[in-house]
């Protein structure tokens, strides 16, 4: 399954799933970051990706540890096929919270889609160490089997 075939069906899922994730620090995000994230998510879901990116980037500026904004911004970049920007955004997120499974899963998909097999394998393996029994773990294992050719 390619990134292209899953991104539109899951955009709402990622945005909604990450909207309720706690920030990496465990503290509640600054209210302005939540408001900017909410506005950016609404704009992304309506297809206004340019404005959505602006709000989501501002949410990160306000609270650099607010993981939902990173994941949502990367989804916006994916919808523009700006894969290098999405990869950079997800790597920044994982540098802050190395156990963020949404960022890790999406990054693995991006690496796979862009043909970066080595990084895809490493990121799928990392995802499975974060959540070996989660709802997407079987899919991650399948991606690994396909990439390793076994």
pTM over 0.75: yes
Residue 26 has pLDDT above 70, yes or no: no
State the pLDDT at residue 75.
92
Which tens digits make up the pLDDT trace of 120-133? 999 999 999 999 99
Domains of the chain: 3-148 (1.25.40.10)
Which tens digits make up the pLDDT trace of 28-55? 555 799 999 999 999 998 889 999 999 9
For residue 140, give both structure tokens: 């991650």
Percentage of the chain with pLDDT > 90? 70
């Amino acid at each position: 399954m390619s990134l292209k075939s899953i991104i539109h069906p899951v955009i709402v899922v990622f945005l909604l799933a990450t909207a309720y994730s706690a920030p990496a620090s465990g503290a509640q995000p600054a209210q302005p970051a939540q408001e900017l994230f909410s506005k950016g998510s609404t704009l992304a879901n309506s297809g206004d990706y340019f404005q959505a990116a602006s709000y989501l980037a501002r949410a990160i500026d306000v609270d650099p540890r607010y993981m939902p904004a990173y994941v949502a911004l990367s989804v916006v970049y994916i919808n523009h096929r700006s894969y290098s920007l999405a990869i950079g955004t997800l790597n920044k997120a994982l540098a802050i919270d190395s156990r963020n499974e949404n960022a890790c899963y999406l990054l693995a998909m991006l690496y796979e889609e862009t043909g970066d097999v080595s990084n895809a394998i490493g990121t799928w393996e990392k995802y499975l160490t974060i959540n070996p029994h989660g709802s997407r773990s079987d899919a991650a294992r399948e991606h690994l089997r396909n990439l390793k050719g076994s």
